[in-house]
Amino acid sequence: MMIELRRSKLNYQYIKHLPVEYDGQLLGQQDARLILIEDKILAAVYALRDSDESLVEQLKDRMRRLDVSLGMLANFHDTRLSVIPVRLK
């Protein structure tokens, strides 16, 4: 996906980890593996046979933490890419 973003000359940032905080204290880092595109869209890329609502809720949580209102789940498991758009209300 990042190859295509680069080829399209879109700005993106690969986010490997997100900080985990409690009451203003840094507790550690959480694996994230997200792509922030043009500072507007948060993409979660995965390859799973089945996706469920928990993936959507996890992405929404990360979108809130990064203050992004539009996201997408991109599943590369099958021969065709499956994309699920996700919005915060």
Domain count for the chain, please give it: 1
| pTM assigned to the model | 0.86
Could you tell me the two tokens for 1?
């996906």
- pLDDT recorded at residue 50: 82
Give the CATH number, domain containing residue 43: 3.40.1350
Give the neighbor-by-neighbor strand order of the sheet with 25-37.
12-22, 25-37, 41-46, 70-75, 82-87
- pLDDT recorded at residue 38: 97
Q: Where does the chain show beta strands of DSSP type E?
A: 12-22, 25-37, 41-46, 70-75, 82-87
How does pLDDT run across 30-86, given as a tens digit for each residue?
999 999 999 999 999 998 988 889 999 999 999 999 999 999 999 998 888 889 999
Provide the domain limits for residue 48: 2-87
Residue entry with tokens 């992004």: 68
- pLDDT recorded at residue 31: 93
- pLDDT recorded at residue 14: 96
- pLDDT recorded at residue 34: 96
- pLDDT recorded at residue 89: 81
